[in-house]
Structure 1
Amino acid sequence: MLPLEQFTSYIKKNALFTTADKILLAVSGGKDSVLMTQLFKLSNYNFSIAHCNFNLRGDEAQRDETFVKLLAATLGVPFYVTHFDTKGYANEHQISTQMAARDLRYQWFEKIRNEGGYGYIALAHHQNDVMETLLLNLTRGTGISGLHGILPKRGKLIRPLLFLSRHQINDLTESENIAFVEDSSNQTTKYARNKIRLNVIPHLLDINPNLEQTFVQNIKRFAETEEVLRQVVEQKRSKIAREEDGVIYFSIEQIKQLQPQKLLFFELLSPYHFTDSVVNEILESLTKQSGTSFYSNSHRATINRDDLMITTLPKELVFEHHFMHPQDEFIKVEDQKISLYYSESNLVEDNCNKAFVDFEKLIFPLVIRFRQDGDRFMPLGMKQFKKLSDFLIGNKIPLPQKEKIPLLINGNGEIIWVAGLRQDNRYKVNTTTKKVAIFELSN
């Protein structure tokens, strides 16, 4: 028997939606989303079905689409479907295929929600998805906000199956003879989440057979702790930050007095998307000269006498800036490409189209941009700074070419490499280097 009472009770307890709301169900055709659909139907909720074909699995993807379309027809509910060029989108935006699929589906779901007058978008995540997300966040590094995993409700996204584990869903679909389709990509360890699901969690279940429930309780405690921290952070923000004409100023003296400094400062800067390594570098650089800048994907932090000044990157600057993360294989910059790979050997080549950089000195995300007024760096082999403009004049670089030379910028704002010409002496490989990041410029 399907757990209708638990289902409706969970929805009411978490105020996911009311019976007056129209709900758009994201249905892939797998066990989770099909079970969610059946529960919505038997509970007499007003819903429609939306399905994405990412064109990544050939005939299997078409099979899924046909199955979900037939499911919607059988249940007598409206059906929406779309097709994506997922790989093309990933290449265009320099992101992973998984991230591209995520962006595309959520953009489309929101479009249908608005156009169709739906109150919420229902996703079929369950307790194991929450557990996997938490482990993935811990593996990659996270603040406390990453410890609550997936929430039952966030904005217009709702997850009404979080009261069930994967094991329970498997039992229900089998006992109730519910038809579904299997995504073969769920069995590959190509993706990080699948590695955790297939290789890590089984060992944890050996240690604790009630792992799902343990994580549910842990996550509740993490969420409560996060709320306490949020209140403390907002109290601190009101004392050490001020806003003038759209610019946020943090008192450097007050930053120095924060305890525990790193935790509170990271949370204070979290709305501006600075990474953990950039936050560390800012803290270590508070006494540096005015004008020292640090970047996130959306903001710039600049030391300005007694304050740390946070400004939003203009849209045109965001467009002109390209961000490189440790896992990126390459970044396209107009008709050029900067590739990134790694080596354990500290041997270097005499090749101006390559930069051999001490990995431990890098602060991600790196920025790739073109020159700006005031740029300076320490050319390889030199101990003094040189203005970039003087360096380019000295190398007799024609003016049109000057405007097209990519600059590789560290997360602390320092130039690492004038691509194709010279790298910075501060980032060179030496005998103590353990890992080398190799950047290569090509057309």
Structure 2
Amino acid sequence: MLVSFKNHINTKFPFLKDTRLVIAISGGIDSVVLAHLCHKLNFNFALAHCNFNLRGKESDADEAFVLDLGEQLDVEVFIQNFDTEVYAEENKCSIQMAARELRYDWFSELAQQLNFDYILTAHHADDNLETFLINFTRGTGLNGLTGIPELNGNIARPLLPFSRETIEAYAKSENIAWREDSSNSSRKYLRNKLRHDVIPILKEINPNVLDSFQNTLSNLKETETIVSQTIDDFLNRAIVKKEGGTVTYYISEFKNQNNPKAFLYEVFKNCGFTEWNDVEGLLEAETGKYIASGTHKLTKHREFLILTDCHSELVSESISLNQPIKISEVEVQKSQVKTPLGVLFFDEAEALRDNAQNTIYVDLEKLKYPLEFRLWQTGDVFHPIGMRGKKKVSKYLKDEKLTPSEKDNTWVLTSEDKIVWVVGRRADDRFKVSGRTNQILKIELK
């Protein structure tokens, strides 16, 4: 196996030879063999072990084993203890998901702080088949059937071509000791059920099932490349604009496809939507109809689909929705105030210039303090500059054909509940500069 591993490194991972590596090590056979192989090749590496404190004394024994292995290989060892059950409860996720998040977050932090170039994990061919079957049984798209990536950012998996059987044979031939995780024998988890009950049957049917699987993955990855390029070309035509946590798409581009649902799936598959018939239904729905997941909201607006990141939406609402920003005369004199949209700058101007999208000029003496910076509200009315009479802000925003997310994120600057400025859009006629103005105030949003 050492010769095959060396050849694989030379072919796929030559860049690992002259870099600083950290190996994610549990104490199990896979990661221990990876450590020994890297030691044989004289790689510059350290070991990183997570103690999830889920198996009592057994977890502590794993930690002690890894420390001993570090001494044996004469490499540095990093240990991190986690209260995994508390994390899972606080984040409302499974123990397995909690352990995964804690593990990779720490590895990333470790690599960044100590300048490790790559993190090596010991995933192998059987792990790859298990992941494929898990995704297959739960339902997935093409990308969920292409297996574990050999290289994902700074995470490298050099054991992926090797089977569990090959790894075990090498460990025994080299008299390598390892730790057995008792939880691996439990059928409680889906991965273990597949490992112990399903995959042995597949190997019985086809002893070369892992080789066949590798060929299938290769074909799927080639197909994925074609699909990815097609979707990239489609998005170049379909995306109208990106702004903050919002992306706007032309509906017509989806309708022009022979299979709109397939394109909807590929574009929005990572947004948490599950009812794809409902997603497709938005193409013909009335303006304002939407579907939502735990992370995103997809809205039909005229000839557009608007994807909003729910987190961004919640953040923007929580900043000042219930707590408008009060701006005192002193703050105006200090010339700048931070807002959720940017910084408001206040400067006295010697002469009047035309209002712009993010700049207005007002009669300073007409302002009453404190000014207030807030989201617009139902019932708000203002006097658009250059027009006679008043207009509801809601009607103005509708006439401007703003998208729902743009409407939701429209702010106003007020004085004694009178709107001075629909920020970034239209000033109010009541505060405009006239021939009687003594002091001109320039208000600019940056």
Q: Which is worse superposed, 196-205 or 180-189? A: 196-205
The 4+ residue runs of structure 1 with deviation greater than 4 A are 318-321
Look up the match of 2:307: 310
Q: Secondary structure at the match of 1:235?
A: helix
Amino acid at match of 1:201: I
Look up the match of 1:257: 256
Amino acid at match of 1:137: N
Query: What's the CA shift string for 1:365-414, capped at 9, x where partnerless?
Result: xxxxxxxx99xxxxxxxxxxxxxxxxxxxxxxxxxxxxxxxxxxxxxxxx
1:292 aligns with 2:289: yes
Structure 1 residues 87 and 9: CA distance shift in structure 2, 3 A? same
In structure 1, distance between residues paired with 2:81 and 2:214: 35
The answer (yes or no) to whether the contact 1:47–1:77 under 8 Å persists in 2 is: yes
In structure 2, distance between residues paired with 1:320 and 1:23: 43
Query: What's the CA shift string for 1:27-55, capped at 9, x where partnerless?
Result: 10111001000000010000000000000
**Under a length normalisation based on structure 2, what TM-score does the superposition of the two structures give?**
0.68
1:269 aligns with 2:268: yes
In structure 2, distance between residues paired with 1:319 and 1:223: 39
Q: Which has the higher contact order (CA 8 A, sep 6+)?
A: 1
Q: CA deviation at 1:288?
A: 1.9
Q: Secondary structure at the match of 1:160?
A: coil
The answer (yes or no) to whether the contact 1:298–1:318 under 8 Å persists in 2 is: no
The answer (yes or no) to whether the contact 1:297–1:318 under 8 Å persists in 2 is: no
In structure 1, distance between residues paired with 2:13 and 2:213: 22
After TM superposition, list the pairs within 5 Å mapping 1:398-437 onto structure 2: none
Of residues 107, 114, 117, the one that matches 2:115 is 117
Q: CA deviation at 1:318?
A: 7.2
- Consecutive unaligned residues in structure 2, runs of 5 or more: 319-376, 379-446
After TM superposition, list the pairs within 5 Å mapping 1:170-319 onto structure 2: 170-246=168-244, 247-270=246-269, 272-275=270-273, 277-315=274-312, 317=314
Amino acid at match of 1:57: R
1:21 aligns with 2:22: no
Look up the match of 1:424: none
After TM superposition, list the pairs within 5 Å mapping 1:379-398 onto structure 2: none
In structure 2, distance between residues paired with 1:85 and 1:71: 24
Q: Secondary structure at the match of 1:60?
A: helix
| Percent of residue pairs bearing the same amino acid type | 39
The answer (yes or no) to whether the contact 2:22–2:46 under 8 Å persists in 1 is: yes
Q: Secondary structure at the match of 1:8?
A: helix
Amino acid at match of 2:164: R
**How big is the alpha-carbon RMSD for the aligned residues of Structure 1 and Structure 2?**
2.0
Look up the match of 1:153: 151
Q: CA deviation at 1:153?
A: 0.5
* Equivalenced residues, count: 319
Amino acid at match of 2:253: Q
The answer (yes or no) to whether the contact 1:26–1:50 under 8 Å persists in 2 is: yes
The answer (yes or no) to whether the contact 1:258–1:265 under 8 Å persists in 2 is: no
Amino acid at match of 2:212: T
Pair member with larger Rg: 2
In structure 2, distance between residues paired with 1:240 and 1:16: 40
Q: CA deviation at 1:242?
A: 1.8
Amino acid at match of 1:249: T
Look up the match of 1:71: 69
The answer (yes or no) to whether the contact 1:16–1:160 under 8 Å persists in 2 is: no
Q: CA deviation at 1:68?
A: 0.5
The answer (yes or no) to whether the contact 2:254–2:263 under 8 Å persists in 1 is: no
After TM superposition, list the pairs within 5 Å mapping 1:302-381 onto structure 2: 302-315=299-312, 317=314
1:9 aligns with 2:23: no
Q: CA deviation at 1:285?
A: 3.1
Q: CA deviation at 1:315?
A: 4.3
- Consecutive unaligned residues in structure 1, runs of 5 or more: 322-372, 375-443
The answer (yes or no) to whether the contact 2:124–2:162 under 8 Å persists in 1 is: yes
Look up the match of 1:324: none
Q: CA deviation at 1:206?
A: 1.5
Q: Secondary structure at the match of 1:303?
A: strand
Query: What's the CA shift string for 1:215-267, capped at 9, x where partnerless?
Result: 11111111111001000111111122221534322222221222232222211
In structure 1, distance between residues paired with 2:79 and 2:46: 11
Amino acid at match of 2:4: Q
Q: CA deviation at 1:316?
A: 6.8
The answer (yes or no) to whether the contact 2:264–2:279 under 8 Å persists in 1 is: no
Q: CA deviation at 1:16?
A: 6.3
In structure 2, distance between residues paired with 1:315 and 1:253: 27
Look up the match of 1:31: 29
Q: Secondary structure at the match of 1:23?
A: strand
In structure 1, distance between residues paired with 2:316 and 2:182: 37
Q: Secondary structure at the match of 1:17?
A: helix
In structure 2, distance between residues paired with 1:16 and 1:281: 48
Q: Secondary structure at the match of 1:24?
A: strand
**Under a length normalisation based on structure 1, what TM-score does the superposition of the two structures give?**
0.69
Q: Secondary structure at the match of 1:229?
A: helix
